[in-house]
Each structure stands twice: as C-alpha cells, then as structure tokens.
Structure 1
C-alpha cells in the first residue's frame, strides 16, 4: 500500500491544517467541567515533556562550536528580541482603528517569542546558506527565549493582558526552563556513560542523544501532538469564556495586513542589515531566515502558561504569522537557491561561513 503524501503544490503546511482542525474541534466540542480539568492537566504535562525533549535534543557541543559566529548570533538575537518587540510596540498606534486591544496583545506577544529552529535550517539549506549558523542561531534563540520572553512579556504586556502576572514568570520557569535543563542533564549524563562504556569496551557505547536520534519520528509526533493538545485546551477555554465574540472578519483581515507588513519589514531589515554589517551571502541567508521568523512550537506553550483562559486569542496572531512566514520564506529560499551570487560571492570576513558549512551541517 502506498503511503499518502501531502501534495507538493499545496501552499498550506499540513500541520497548519491540523491546527485549524483542532481549533474547529474546540469550537464544536469544547472541554468543560471535569473534561476541562483533565485537558488542562494533560496540557501542562505535555508542555513540560515538550521542553524536556528540546533540552535532550540540543547538542551542547554544537552550541559551543557555534559560538565562533558570535556576531551573527548577536545579530539574530537582536532582531528577535529587540527589533521585533519595537515593531510590536509601534503597532500600538493601530488600536482601536485597525486592531482591538486583545488582538494587539496577541500581536505584541508574537513579537516576543523566540525564532524557529527546523524551518530556519530547512530554508537556509534550500537557499544554500550557512546551515550550521542557522542551527546554532535557532537553538540559541529558543534557549534565550525561555528566560527572555516571559521577562519581556512581564515588562511590555503587564498585568492587564488577561491573567498575566509576575507569578507567571515563576510558573514558566518551573514548567519550561526546569524540564529543559533536566533534558540537558539527561543528555550530559548519557554522554558520560557513553564515554565510560567506550573506554571499558574499547570503542563501544552509544553517542549522546542516541535515544532521541533513534526515535526521532515518534518523538516528532509527540512534539506536534503536544502542541495540538495545547491548542485544544486554550481554545476550549476561550470558547467557554465567549472570547470569540470579540473578533470580527474585518479585524482578522486587518490583523493579516499588519502581520504581512511586519514580516516584509523584517525580511528587508535582516537581508540588507546583514549586508551593512559586513556579512557574506551565506551568513546573510541564515540571518534572514532565523531573524525574521517566530516559533509556533515555543510560543504556544508559553502563551498557555502566561495567558491561561485568554491564550486562545493571544496565540491567534502567532498561528497566522507562522503560516504566512512559511509560505513567504519558501518562495524566497527557492529564489535564493538560483541566485548567481551563490557560486560567485566569497564568504564574509566576519564569520568565515564557508568553513562552517563544510563542517557539521547536520
């Protein structure tokens, strides 16, 4: 029997279809009463396990090796946690003409979350950019975001953002940072045991992260299933609170226009800003794709912790932006892959990207 595949000509990510289906399921059959309590508990456990897996996957050696590109990583972090939030704050002037206050809160939260990892790597690879730099930049952004995102949210969103308070910072540390560190510790212990076994057996043993690598597909399903559970719980709570009465088709259209403008501006700034800073083509590609995108995988769990019952409206801008960035960046990556500069332009002197591409691109 042939395995069914998603048609390559479809512009929509199949996972987005699942997310929208989950939203529809929550709208038709929201969890209530005991079911809501069970869904909330399961969602909390799923989020903790999700960040445990993030910690177990992140190679400390890979992160340390990537530190030699510190200028590139600082540039990406500045785009993610400085430029993006400034654009979010500037959008405050669109309330209430284009955006309602709840939609603006969601838009501002969108600008605070970390960058993506998988899609940044994929698009950088397609565009023939600095893949190792994209790996490290996305990993650093996710790691920094566990701490920086809730702190920025506390400073910029304040206590009027639907249940957000200073206690949320403590909660997110316990629910996100602690499991992440536990995953890193597990990986570190696995490295130590593997080395001891190789010494004892004269070369045997398993490499770090072996379990994660061997069960990559299964754990990938766990990743996505956890996020779907978070979405269902958040939108179920939103339905019981009647939060969808605050959104109209006109407001959603306005939100899409604003997000398109933000994405276009970030794509331009990351590309031409990288050139102004002296980065070569390969590094600029990594900066553009890592510095212009926001992570749905990190943002949804954080919103669930930070916003509680109001998370459904808070994550709506992020869900829309996520699909938009995938579609736009896919087109850009394909065009960059056919760019004549790809074979002519030397690596930028700032980071020595061609050497990096030749080593450890996995």
Structure 2
C-alpha cells in the first residue's frame, strides 16, 4: 500500500485545487487500487485561499458585501474557532468586476473590510487575510473605512470610493477603527515586495493589469502618496516604502500601517492553516500542481512551498500542470522530481483548457505507474 497526498493549487480559470486532486486521485486508483490518496487543496493567498481553508475543515460563513465597484456580491469568510480566513480576490478581485470592465480609478477594497468586520463581529480574534488578485488601487482606504476609519474632505464629508478620490481627503480619523480592532490580530498573506508608491509601486506595477493608462497611473501614484501622508500623520508610522506595501493596490500598506498587521508569505500561512506538515506522516509521495509551471512558480507560489515542505522531510514530490516551462534542473532545485503536463498528452492548449479532467486522470495513471 502506498499513501499519496495531492496538494494542488487551482488551474486558473479551469479547475479548483479540489477538482484537480479528484481527477488525479481517480487516475492513481485506476492503476494502484491499494493506494490511499488524500486531497489537501492549497493556495498562495490569492484565489483559492478560501476554498483551501474550507477544504481543511473551516466553516464557510456567507456574507453579502460590496464588490469592487460597489455592487453587492455574495462572498463570505471561513471560520474555525476564533480564526477567520478572508480572501480579497473573492470580494474585491478582478473576477468581481461587472462585465469584466475595469474600474482603475474608482474600484475599492471596501468589501474586503466588510468581511473582516463581519468576522470580528462574530467573535473572531485572529483574521488571516489573503490579498492577491485585487481590482483596486485605493491604498486599502476602502478596507479601513469599512472597519470604522473616517476619511473626509475639506467640507467634512466622506470622500468617494477608489484611488482617484484620495486626493480630496484632508483628514483621517481612526478612533472607531481602533475600538473595532481591539484584541484582534490581523495576519496578511502577501507574496510581493513592492513599495506603495514610485516606479515599482502599486500604481506603476499593477495599474496596467487593472486597466489604468499612463496618465491614470500617474494620478493614482499621486493619490497614494497623499494617502500615505495622511496615514503617517494619523499613526506616526511611515511604511510607504516597506516591502509589500504596494500589494493588492496598496491594501498591504493599509494593513500594516493602519491595522498593525503582520505580512507573511501566502503559501506558508496556508500550509499552516490546512495542517499540511502534520499530514505528511507516512506519506510516500506528494503530488502538487498549478496551471503553468514557470519561473514565477519558484518564487513564493504554492507549488514551490509544497515542494519545499515535503523535501524537508524527505518525501518525493511530482507536479501536474497544464504546461511545463521549467527544465529538469530547475525542477530538481525546487524539490520536484518530475512534472506531468496536460500538453504532454494533448498539444492543443484549447482542448486542455476545455476538457482537462480526462487528461488529469491519465496523468494520475502515469504517476501511479511510475510508483511501481
């Protein structure tokens, strides 16, 4: 008998980590009926983080919150005891833009703050916040306003949502927010090291992905600079140049500077949440995976984190993927013994995307055959 763990991230736009694992498991069992195959969905703090938590036994608590353009969306947080997991991508992410239309100047992180507030109101005292995949460049202003902060203009009125409106703010009041967060620990899953502003900041680096043109990027960077000044004045802390401040359009900055959050690598946090290290006892093989294995995979992504954890205790690792762009030497450096790609079976990428499950089952069969 062999014991196999399938710890896969999503195949973006195609399958969830759970669905990948189910297909691989079916394939393995066709060849090795005596195998014990367990699924441990993982994520790097972006899309799929909520699902990974639920797969690990957290309860999904549904919440209707503000989407990135203000429309209500059905989202939620995952809870186990006093610990909550919030996924920014699920409420304030690009996939939540109505019709897929970008809103670079007005998109807000308010919905993420509403989920955090709901978790705190329910009695959670530790919130794990995954901040990948945002649609906004508002410096996290929406997030903190949903938690009680007041950001007003010269007339004493609350400013509009979104990054562009930050230039009209003249003061930031954190009184209610501090009361709301008393006794609450916020930990952020973050895998980028960009500062808030400047040529490698939130607007310049990620603005184009969110639909911002060069003039809008410049405007947003100016607005974020003004926002950082207001936060520094209100808190006495200067964090705009800190690693990760530019994550998720500046949500990383607000989390550190206003919420007092700690930033940690996303896959490291998720592996802790799902109890991955404890589940490795007696395991003969770990199968990890994501849609594309490339150089980005090796820098803080879920596959690299899973491989490192298994390698540390001497368990071999293989990966499944849609396409593999890493040579064997790079795979070995990451602790991955072999990569099994859908495109090895079906060169037509469109077919791989349209119907990946039978191909993944076949990869599972190949993995099981190689176990003999």
- Structure-2-length-normalised TM-score: 0.26
* Greater share of helix: 1
Structure with greater strand share of residues: 2
Larger relative contact order (Cα-Cα within 8 Å, sequence gap ≥ 6) = 1
Scaled by the length of structure 1, the TM-score of the pair is 0.27
